């Protein structure tokens, strides 16, 4: 059975609601100013290690040395290479003409604005766009943005100057649009910048948007063809030599790698690479993901998208803790979505909130001898599987909650189209 997607009842506006909005706006304003002060005042506030790689690395595009670039100024134990496809260097290339401080501040502000977009679209997909005209839900969007700025995935994304929030926003805009060429172009181009957004194609397949899925693949290969015309040697090197080399991206066993491969490697004391243990774990995860998807309502676009994106994070060789921006929409879906009244929904949301406020992977990174040491005490290995365990429990819970609900069955023969693009 599939659940019909019910909507939370809108609350009547009142002076209290307006007061809550002002408080939420003040909290967001203080959070933004605090992050700016963090960058401008603290000695290491302007680190932006990944943004340095984007900007300085992309300057080498076409020189033949793009993938020889490393930046060890902030990370002497691991010189950071340019690990993205050549199309990413093409996108970032104009930034190296600007003063880095200007780029960094603009990137910071744009990331925080994108986070608001992620929260807004998540609520819109849960409630419908009309609900967000009400002050109560606008307050919710502003408040969750203020909270989200201090959760580990966003916190570290801001510290490093990472691109993650933008990629999540692009995926959500693509899902929101009904136009196959808009959705496919967004996902294909995002995958050209960083391969992981390509998993969104599974969402389009789940929703039977076959043309969109096909067009996203065409656009992605178009990005490859474009860079091949510009810099054939670097494009060939990336897709024939470097693609799939997880050790080049970083230490697989580090606690901040929250993928299946990272968790299994720490538990077993060695890198499991793509061997039988990893394959078995991926198959189990895939089965649980399908069961969870089958339990969702046909019009639950956000729920379906989350199932897909969490699966992508699990099976990727490297899923740093700052890649897990999707946990914020997960919490929103658990608290306000169609299964919000089912036992365990708030408990799961609380689990993600507590672990991301604490920053468990980041905290555990202080207890590992080195980022390259895989083996560690068992308790640290299990604690460092915090996101992997959370996803597996989430899948099981969704599968159970969807099938034990008292809601009426719904026809699965055709997926409901998303809201029109604006």
Could you give the angle at which helices 152-160 and 327-336 cross, rounded to 10 degrees?
150
Q: Please, which pLDDT band fits residue 12 given cuts at 50, 70 and 90?
A: low
What is the pTM assigned to this prediction?
0.91
At 196 the pLDDT is 93
Residue 369 lies in a domain: yes
Rounded to an integer, the average pLDDT of 224-241 is: 95
Report for 42-51, 143-152, 294-303: range of highest mean pLDDT: 143-152
At 417 the pLDDT is 42
Cβ–Cβ < 8 Å for 73, 95: no
Rounded to an integer, the average pLDDT of 150-179 is: 96
Higher pLDDT, 129 or 144: 144
Residue 103 lies in a domain: no
**What digits encode the pLDDT tens for the residues 357-367?**
999 999 999 99
Q: What is the DSSP letter of 320?
A: B
Question: What token pair was written down for 6?
Answer: 């019910």
At 13 the pLDDT is 59
Distance, in Å, from the CA atom of 385 to the CA atom of 146, rounded to the nearest integer, reads 27
Residue 177 vs residues 185, 301, 332, 358, 417: alpha-carbon distances, Å = 11, 11, 21, 35, 9
Cβ–Cβ < 8 Å for 307, 292: yes
Res. 10: pLDDT tops 70 = no
Residue 282 lies in a domain: yes
Question: What token pair was written down for 155?
Answer: 């916190």
Q: Please, which pLDDT band fits residue 146 given cuts at 50, 70 and 90?
A: very high
Res. 307: pLDDT tops 80 = yes
Residue 67 lies in a domain: no
**What digits encode the pLDDT tens for the residues 358-403?**
999 999 999 998 888 999 999 999 999 999 999 999 999 999 998 8
* 158: Cβ contacts below 8 Å, ≥ 6 apart: 35, 108, 111, 112, 149
Res. 337: pLDDT tops 50 = yes
Could you give the angle at which helices 276-294 and 386-404 cross, rounded to 10 degrees?
30
Residue 358 lies in a domain: yes
Distance, in Å, from the CA atom of 292 to the CA atom of 306, rounded to the nearest integer, reads 10
Helices (H) and strands (E) in the chain, counts: 21, 2
Per-residue b or e along 231-265, where b marks 16 or more CB atoms closer than 10 Å to that residue's CB: beebbebbeeebeeebeebbbbbbbbbbbbbbbbb
Cα 265 versus chain centre, distance? 22
Give the count of domains, the chain.
1
Higher pLDDT, 28 or 45: 28
301 CB-side CA count, 13 A:
25
Q: What is the DSSP letter of 276?
A: H
Q: Where are the alpha helices (DSSP H) in 53-199?
A: 58, 86-92, 100-127, 135-148, 152-160, 164-176, 180-193
Cβ–Cβ < 8 Å for 10, 131: yes
At 409 the pLDDT is 42
Q: Please, which pLDDT band fits residue 341 given cuts at 50, 70 and 90?
A: very high
Residue 365 lies in a domain: yes
At 369 the pLDDT is 86
Count how many residues are written for the chain: 422
Res. 208: pLDDT tops 50 = yes
76 CB-side CA count, 13 A:
0
Residue 39 lies in a domain: no
Residue 356 lies in a domain: yes
Report for 70-74, 236-240, 326-330: range of highest mean pLDDT: 326-330
Domain containing 329: what range?
Answer: 252-404
SS3 54: helix
At 259 the pLDDT is 97
**What digits encode the pLDDT tens for the residues 101-132?**
999 999 999 999 999 999 999 999 999 988 88
Rounded to the nearest integer, the mean pLDDT of the chain is 90
Beta strand pairing status for 80-81 and 70-71?
antiparallel
Distance, in Å, from the CA atom of 397 to the CA atom of 400, rounded to the nearest integer, reads 5
Query: Among the listed ranges 21-25, 73-77, 197-201, 368-372, which one has the minimum average pLDDT value?
Result: 73-77
């Amino acid at each position: 059975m599939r659940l019909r997607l019910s909507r939370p009842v809108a609350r009547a506006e009142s002076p209290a609601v307006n007061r809550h909005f002002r408080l939420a706006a003040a909290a967001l304003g203080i959070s933004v100013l605090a992050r700016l002060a963090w960058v401008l005042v603290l000695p290491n506030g302007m680190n932006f290690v990944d943004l340095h790689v984007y900007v300085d690395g992309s300057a080498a595009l076409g020189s033949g040395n793009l993938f020889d670039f490393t930046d060890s100024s902030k990370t002497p134990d691991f010189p950071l290479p340019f690990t993205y496809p050549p199309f990413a260097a093409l996108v970032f290339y104009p930034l190296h003409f600007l003063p880095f401080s200007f780029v960094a501040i603009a990137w910071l502000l744009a990331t925080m604005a994108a986070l608001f977009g992620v929260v807004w679209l998540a609520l819109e997909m849960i409630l419908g766009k009309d609900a967000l005209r009400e002050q109560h839900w606008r307050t919710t969007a502003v408040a969750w943005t203020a909270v989200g700025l201090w959760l580990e995935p966003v916190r570290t994304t801001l510290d490093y100057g990472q691109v993650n929030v933008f990629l999540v926003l692009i995926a959500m805009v693509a899902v929101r649009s009904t136009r196959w060429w808009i959705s496919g172009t967004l996902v294909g181009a995002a995958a050209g910048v960083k391969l992981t957004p390509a998993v969104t194609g599974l969402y389009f397949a789940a929703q039977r948007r076959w043309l969109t899925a096909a067009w996203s693949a065409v656009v992605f290969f178009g990005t490859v063809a474009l860079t091949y015309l510009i810099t054939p040697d670097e494009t060939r090197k990336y897709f024939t030599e470097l693609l799939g080399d997880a050790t080049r991206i970083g230490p697989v066993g580090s606690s901040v790698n929250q993928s299946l491969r990272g968790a299994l490697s720490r538990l077993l004391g060695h890198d499991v690479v793509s061997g039988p243990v990893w394959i078995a774990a991926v198959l189990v995860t895939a089965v649980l993901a399908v069961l969870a998807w089958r339990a969702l309502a046909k019009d639950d676009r956000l729920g379906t998208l989350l199932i897909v994106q969490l699966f992508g994070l699990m099976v990727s060789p490297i899923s740093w803790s700052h890649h897990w921006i999707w946990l914020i929409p997960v919490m929103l879906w658990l608290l306000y979505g169609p299964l919000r009244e089912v036992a365990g929904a708030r408990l799961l949301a609380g689990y993600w909130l507590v672990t991301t406020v604490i920053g468990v992977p980041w905290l555990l990174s202080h207890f590992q001898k080195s980022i390259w040491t895989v083996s560690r005490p068992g308790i640290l290995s299990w604690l460092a599987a915090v996101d992997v365990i959370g996803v597996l429990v989430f899948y099981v819970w969704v599968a159970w909650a969807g099938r034990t609900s008292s809601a009426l069955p719904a026809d699965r023969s055709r997926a409901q189209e998303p809201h029109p693009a604006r």
